[in-house]
């Protein structure tokens, strides 16, 4: 089941497994119901994010810099859930828990790539809100559509480069012992810890990625909201202050839903040992629930989006009526 390559320079046996076995939950009765629940989560995620993306694409009033970032967030949510949940369901509902080495690395890359995009896009949206509130008269000049396209493009390039390095470092590892991954997908940490040669570079890269892609955005978002708070205190009228605060509530909810579970799990893991089953539940919910809730939050909490959806619905209803009348006239 393994292909063995010999390293002529180091004179050691290098083992690259043909497959990995994804272990999933251990000794949990009726675990399949949890994966059925994730089927429902995925269906809502696809519908919600597709609705947001189509609304932004079709509604000319939403063709602004802010909604370029919102579109990118919806795309990242859809991509991340699609990279994770269908494969997870195939593994554990249909018992295809073996995955080839190449497919495992591809799965790892896409899951981490879209998670990175989600994190960096939330940072871009925080920048948008900070400029809108702190520099309202210069907002249109600073946050242009060109500038936001550039920011989104940089996030994609940065994400691809970092995650190619992260996944590429796995290829230098030798797996001469177990190939059973104690996770629910091809997770980076549980895989590199199975290696029987030096994995210190992978450990360093994991720490760098967490610091750069999770901790740094959280720190920068906190700074942007500190600047927003200072700007709001300078606003004399309470009504204007409340109106400005309302423009931030949706984004703050997304930030809390995305970052708090991830940070809490990692902090808890550094202090004490967490049972693998608890880690799987925490991490899987962290990766699947925010993409499902993000479009609901933006739809329900953002008046612009709701108004655009209503206008598109009325327009489609009028077009349907016109087409029906035209067919009736032709028939007569």
pLDDT at 232: 85
pTM > 0.75: yes or no: yes
**Backbone torsions φ then ψ of 175, nearest 5 degrees:** -115, 85
Identify whether 324 is part of a domain: no
Token pair for residue 135? 């520099």
The owner of tokens 């083992």 is 15
Whole-number pLDDT of residue 91: 93
Determine, yes or no, domain membership for 187.
yes
Q: Residue 177 falls within a domain, yes or no?
A: yes
- Let me know if residue 332 belongs to a domain: no
Domain count, the chain: 1
Region of poorest pLDDT, from 137-151, 203-217, 235-249: 235-249
Answer yes or no: is 286 within a domain. Answer: yes
Q: What is the mean pLDDT of residues 143-168?
A: 97
Domain carrying residue 75:
2-314
Helix, strand or coil for residue 6?
A: strand
Cα separation, 59 vs 310, in Å, equals 10
Average pLDDT estimate for 71-86 = 95
Look at residue 125 and tell me whether its pLDDT is greater than 90.
Answer: yes
Q: Which CATH number characterizes residue 136's domain?
A: 1.20.1070.10
DSSP structural state of residue 60: G
Of the chain, the percentage scoring pLDDT greater than 70 comes to 90
Q: Which pLDDT does position 102 carry in this prediction?
A: 96
Q: Which two tokens stand for residue 299?
A: 């739809």
Pairing mode, strands 2-7 and 180-181:
unpaired
**Contact between 327 and 319 (Cβ < 8 Å):** no
Residue 328 located in a structural domain: no
Q: Which of 169-183, 233-247, 311-325 has the highest mean pLDDT?
A: 169-183
d(CA 188, CA 198): 15
Strand partners, 5: 14
Note the pLDDT of residue 323: 67
What backbone phi and psi angles, to 5 degrees, belong to 22?
-85, 115
Q: Is the pLDDT of residue 156 over 50?
A: yes
Q: What confidence score (pLDDT) does residue 3 get? A: 44
Question: For residue 16, which phi and psi values (nearest 5 degrees)?
Answer: -115, 115
pLDDT value of position 321: 66
Instruction: Give a yes or no: residue 329 inside a domain.
Output: no
More confident residue, 53 or 330: 53
- Mean pLDDT over 234-245 rounds to 72
Of the chain, the percentage scoring pLDDT greater than 90 comes to 59
């Amino acid at each position: 089941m393994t292909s063995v390559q010999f390293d002529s320079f180091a004179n050691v046996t290098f083992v690259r497994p043909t497959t990995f076995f994804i272990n999933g939950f251990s000794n949990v009765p009726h675990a399949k119901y949890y994966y059925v629940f994730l089927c429902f989560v995925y269906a809502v995620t696809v519908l919600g994010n597709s609705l947001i993306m189509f609304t932004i694409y079709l509604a000319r009033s939403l063709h602004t810099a802010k909604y370029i970032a919102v579109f990118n967030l919806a795309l990242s949510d859809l991509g991340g859930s699609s990279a994770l949940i269908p494969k997870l369901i195939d593994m554990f509902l249909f018992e295809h828990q073996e995955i080839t080495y190449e497919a495992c690395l591809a799965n790892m890359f896409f899951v981490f790539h879209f998670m990175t995009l989600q994190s960096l896009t939330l940072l871009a949206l925080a920048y948008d809100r900070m400029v809108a509130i702190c520099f309202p008269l210069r907002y249109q000049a600073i946050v242009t559509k060109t500038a936001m396209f550039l920011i989104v493009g940089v996030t994609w390039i940065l994400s691809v480069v970092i995650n190619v390095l992260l996944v590429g470092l796995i290829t230098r590892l030798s797996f001469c012992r177990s190939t059973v991954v104690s996770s629910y997908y091809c997770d980076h940490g549980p895989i590199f810890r199975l290696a029987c040669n030096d994995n210190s570079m992978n450990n360093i890269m994991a720490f760098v990625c967490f610091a750069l892609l999770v901790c740094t955005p959280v720190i920068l978002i906190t700074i942007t909201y500190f600047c927003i708070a200072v700007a709001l205190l300078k606003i004399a009228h309470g009504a204007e202050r409340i109106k400005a605060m309302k423009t931030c509530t949706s984004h703050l909810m997304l930030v809390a839903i995305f970052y708090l579970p991830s940070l809490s799990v990692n902090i808890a893991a550094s202090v004490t040992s967490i049972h693998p089953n608890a880690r799987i539940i925490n991490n899987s919910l962290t990766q699947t629930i925010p993409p499902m809730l993000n479009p609901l939050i933006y739809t329900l909490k953002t008046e612009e989006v709701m108004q655009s959806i209503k206008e598109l619905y009325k327009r489609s209803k009028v077009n349907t009526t016109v087409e029906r009348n035209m067919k009736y006239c032709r028939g007569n």
